[in-house]
Structure 1
Amino acid sequence: MAKPKKSLSPAPDPLSAARLPWHPPAPPLATALLISLAALLVRALVSVGPYSGQGAAPKFGDYEAQRHWMELILHLPSSEWYRNTSANDLAYWGLDYPPLSAYQSWIHARLINASLPDAVALQSSRGFESHESKLLMRWTVLSSDLMVFFPAALWFVWTYMKDGVGGGGKRRDGWMWLLALVLINPCLVLIDHGHFQYNCISLGLTLGAIAGVLSRNELVAAALFTLAINHKQMSMYFAPAFFGHLLGKCMKRKYPIVEIMKLGSVVLGTFALVWWPYLHSYEASIQVISRLAPFERGIYEDYVANFWCSTSVLIKWKRLFAIKPLKLMSLSATILAFLPSFLQQVKSPSNLGFLYSLLNSSFSFYLFSYQVHEKSILLPLLPASLLALHEPHLYGWFTYYALFSMYPLICRDQLLLQYMAVLGLFFLIYYAPGASYGKEVKISSATKAVLSLPLLCSILLHIVYLKIEPPKRYPFLFDALIMFICFSQFVILTLYTNYKQWRLDFQPRSVGRKKDL
């Protein structure tokens, strides 16, 4: 019997096959749409509840601030938007966001004016509240979220999984879990759709810029992040991470100066486009800038869980120092805090390192910068959610304390039911069957014991805050205790994430930290 001829083609090499890059199929559109619809439904249900300052004359709250800006911007020329005039009393919710936020208010004002002109009538509409106006105002936030944050989240998740940032193996099927966590962020949902704000726009633009960086569309990323800064100046919390990562990339390319000039041109061009009505004179530009940096309010407001407020129990910063030295101290502390993360990305830029740097940079600003609000925790919470597949324990822990840090604000807004509902929904998703991405990591008994103490205290404080009156001598005792607990956890988290970012330099190159030059 004749022997069969040997094949001339070599046998497949399983090792070489394993080395081929893995490209996942596109996420099923139907599944992504279902997750998005569920996230939209959660927002709509939260929107049914009260809002900031509802019925609380004479200044009401953030809801009235947004409505008042629509009123002013609809009826006054752009030269008077940031200027104190007879028609624009800056003491009554004066506009203190960049021009892009003003343009957004103009668009929404036109839509509301077409249906309910009384809600945005000049001066006579102060404190205007009706069921119809509430529905229209809520709709402006829902539509903004749907048009900006949702597409950015889908783009990020697809890019994250496609380009291997999410690791491999067990994480390849985690895109649904990640998308659900990013879209159903309890803090963002409660602040935008309960309390009432438009953080979804600036955070959505930032998220789109992050996806642009990961997908190697740096010029698009530069334009989107510049728009985010021009919508809310707090987006500058992310600037060191973007600057350090993109600078590190440019320095490793063939023509670094050309690459830097291209990015700089996009940033300057976008700024010029947004600020065009105020570039005709130095005075007009300074008028806007002065409104964006309200130093006269002091180094902090309310009981925010950052360094200045938490340490003020022992060191009376506002009494001991004038505004000028406090500004310098705050600036120095913030730079020192984000500098290690910034330098790591300049030295060794990577996709995973960039996500850690975004978290570390924004945490630095939250903890040490001037005039921080409790709602600013939304900024470090965004990159934390993007790292959920890599750091599931960190994200779950951080989300809980971020939400707890806003508990007094939520109670003032009478959103306790919504608070418990979205927190419960978050943990249902987080502990969903099969969603064990990284949660199988063992935690020592000693670590569990250390982490359990503040957790038990926080659970107890949830009840105490509602049921027990604080001592008359210390009316804000429980607010301060909530602040201390959250601040301690935020310090631990930021030390840990800085360590994890620098640790990337000592690990072998892998899918998770591949260079993207």
Structure 2
Amino acid sequence: MLLEIIFIVTAVKAFFMPLYRSTDFEVHRNWLAVTHNLTLEQWYHDNTSEWTLDYPPFFAWLEFALSHVAKIFDPEMVKIENLNYASDMTVLFQRLSVIVLDIVYIYGAFRCTKNIANGNLLVFLLLITNPGLIMVDHIHFQYNGFLFGILLLSISNMLSNNYLYSAFWFAVLLNFKHIFLYMAPVYVVHLLRAYCFTVSSTDGVHTPWYSFSVTNLFKLATTVIFVFCLSFGPFIDQLPQVFSRLFPFKRGLCHAYWAPNFWALYNFADKILQHFSTKLGIPVVVQEAAMTGGLVQEYRHAVLPTITPAVTFVLTAAAMAPALVKLWYLGADRRYRGGSFLRCLTLCATCAFMFGWHVHEKAILMILIPLSFLSVLGITDARLYMFMSVVGHYSLFPLLYPKNLLPIKIFILLTHLSIVFSYLPSLYEPKTKTSRRRGFLVLPKLKASDSLYLYGLIGLCIYENVLHTFLGLDKTLPFLPLMMTSVYCALGVFYFWVRQYIYFLTFNLSSVPTLTTSTNTKSVYEKKET
């Protein structure tokens, strides 16, 4: 069955080859050319194209390796001067490269599910059919599947208590794409707690005292430092230039397409206040189409205080702190370390998504991927995943803006949701019992208010794709649908974040299912919510 699932999903990806491609397609083609033709010292200095190399060194080496295969398909694609080059063979190669590298993701998903006692096939299915990855990688064009595959390898080793291997793979991941730094605090706390503080107790479970292992800390530090030296060592003489490419803080608080986070709500509030201030005759500094003009740029808010990178870092760290403290506390019991690590990883990824600087909308996948594992651990986890799988994946729809892609986006999402809403509820309770107690319009296992919010996405979709043009607003307010999607989905993500945080901080550890036990047990918090 696993092979059948992999074959079907891969076939679907192959059908998407001739579809719309974003500018990221040219970005990666240019990186092939840069790494293939220039010396190491020039990789992070070349500016022939506006799409300069801004990923860590391991990814640059990946592009270098791919470029030698690319020139077999079409030598013209690896010429630096051939900007915006997209021959049929170029498209074929780049699309195939994403599909082939997805093998790492498939293997990582398989390795992770081996650590799950109940619902492992369902988790594998949820990971492989993730609509966000399919839309972002195989239509929009990126290599997120490969990167998340490395993350899954790290997670699988963590769940198996192979801490050094887990640290190794996460360090490798950071040197492929540094956005995963948002997850680093969780790794630091968990590895120190589980690996460097050896547990001593009479029953092997409860921890009356700790002894710190300097040897384990040395092994851990050596592993991580080795990976970073291997990555940045060849660029030791140009580290300032490399870091200036990796951390371009002048790109502004938000991406051109607002990620559905706290700053989308903040920007929207500023827009509303700006409008009413103008109506009331209160003088404000007005930037035409600021934050909604489709450009990546620095800007100042008109009424609310302008946010700096330092503010976002402080807010993100403050948001993560209680979760990290709870993770340290939960590490006292070996039985619950795996589930606690996954919950905290998801929660801190959400904190970074909510309050980070220049967050891309695609970063929602950093929440959805680990959340897939939690969906089989308890009824509350399942509810959170069911809700977030709709909101998070729908928030990616504007990435694929051509109108002819609308049926494909809806098909991909509904196919995944049919799996989610058919099989997750039945994992906890037979459908016959559920259907007798709930209204027709209330989604399985979800509250009526949650269902009402999700149905609102249908109305939003109809407005964006039909009514906005029908009302003639596409000329005067072209970015209104995009702003509506970001703001409405931001409300859902914020709601999810609050519920997830409350659950993580208040659940009863002794009654929460672990990765290796049945999912039928309910915690005290879950019983109250039910």
Deviations 1:280-322 (A, max 9, x none): x2xx011111111111110111222111232112237941599
**Structure-2 residue corresponding to 1:14:** none
| Aligned positions of 1:221-240 closer than 5 A | 221-240=166-185
Partners of 2:301 and 2:21 lie apart in 1 by: 37
Deviation at 1:507, TM superposition (A): 3.3
Paired residue for 1:491, among 491, 494, 497? 494
Paired residue for 2:100, among 143, 165, 182? 143
Q: Confirm whether residue 296 of structure 1 aligns to residue 230 of structure 2.
A: no
Paired residue for 1:420, among 410, 418, 423? 410
Deviation at 1:325, TM superposition (A): 6.2
Partners of 2:270 and 2:73 lie apart in 1 by: 52
Which shifted more, 201-210 or 467-476?
Answer: 467-476
Give the alignment's TM-score, normalised by structure 2. Answer: 0.80
Partners of 2:438 and 2:61 lie apart in 1 by: 52
Q: Confirm whether residue 182 of structure 1 aligns to residue 127 of structure 2.
A: yes
| Aligned positions of 1:99-248 closer than 5 A | 99-123=57-81, 125-146=82-103, 148-161=104-117, 171=118, 174-248=119-193
Partners of 2:28 and 2:4 lie apart in 1 by: 31
Corresponding letter in the other structure for 1:263: L
Corresponding letter in the other structure for 2:51: W
Which shifted more, 247-256 or 71-80?
Answer: 247-256
Q: Confirm whether residue 375 of structure 1 aligns to residue 362 of structure 2.
A: yes
Deviation at 1:345, TM superposition (A): 1.2
Q: CA RMSD in A?
A: 2.6
Cα 1:67–1:384 change in 2 (3 A) is same
Q: Confirm whether residue 306 of structure 1 aligns to residue 261 of structure 2.
A: yes
Partners of 1:502 and 1:402 lie apart in 2 by: 23
Deviation at 1:473, TM superposition (A): 4.9
Q: Confirm whether residue 333 of structure 1 aligns to residue 315 of structure 2.
A: yes
Cα 1:393–1:46 change in 2 (3 A) is farther
Which shifted more, 503-512 or 349-358?
Answer: 503-512
Q: Confirm whether residue 94 of structure 1 aligns to residue 52 of structure 2.
A: yes
In the alignment, is the contact (CA less than 8 A) between 1:338 and 1:361 conserved in 2?
yes
Q: Confirm whether residue 457 of structure 1 aligns to residue 456 of structure 2.
A: yes
Cα 1:261–1:444 change in 2 (3 A) is farther
Paired positions, count: 456
Identity of aligned residues (%): 26
Deviation at 1:430, TM superposition (A): 2.1
Partners of 2:416 and 2:300 lie apart in 1 by: 41
Corresponding letter in the other structure for 2:97: T
Tell which has more relative contact order, 1 or 2 (C-alpha 8 A, sep 6+). 1
Paired residue for 1:388, among 363, 375, 381? 375
Partners of 1:489 and 1:444 lie apart in 2 by: 22
Give the alignment's TM-score, normalised by structure 1. Answer: 0.82
Corresponding letter in the other structure for 2:128: L
Deviation at 1:410, TM superposition (A): 1.5
In the alignment, is the contact (CA less than 8 A) between 2:17 and 2:91 conserved in 1?
no
Corresponding letter in the other structure for 2:364: I
**Structure-1 residue corresponding to 2:300:** 319
Deviation at 1:176, TM superposition (A): 1.6
Query: Gapped runs of 5+ residues in structure 2?
Result: 200-210, 272-290, 292-298, 332-336, 518-530
In the alignment, is the contact (CA less than 8 A) between 1:46 and 1:189 conserved in 2?
no
In the alignment, is the contact (CA less than 8 A) between 1:51 and 1:194 conserved in 2?
yes
| Aligned positions of 1:409-488 closer than 5 A | 409-412=399-402, 415-432=405-422, 436-438=426-428, 448-467=447-466, 468-469=468-469, 470=473, 473-488=476-491
Corresponding letter in the other structure for 2:124: L
Counterpart secondary structure, 2:16: helix
Partners of 1:143 and 1:512 lie apart in 2 by: 30
Paired residue for 1:65, among 27, 49, 52? 27
Deviation at 1:216, TM superposition (A): 1.1
Cα 1:366–1:509 change in 2 (3 A) is closer
In the alignment, is the contact (CA less than 8 A) between 1:307 and 1:487 conserved in 2?
yes
Q: Confirm whether residue 278 of structure 1 aligns to residue 281 of structure 2.
A: no
Cα 1:48–1:176 change in 2 (3 A) is farther
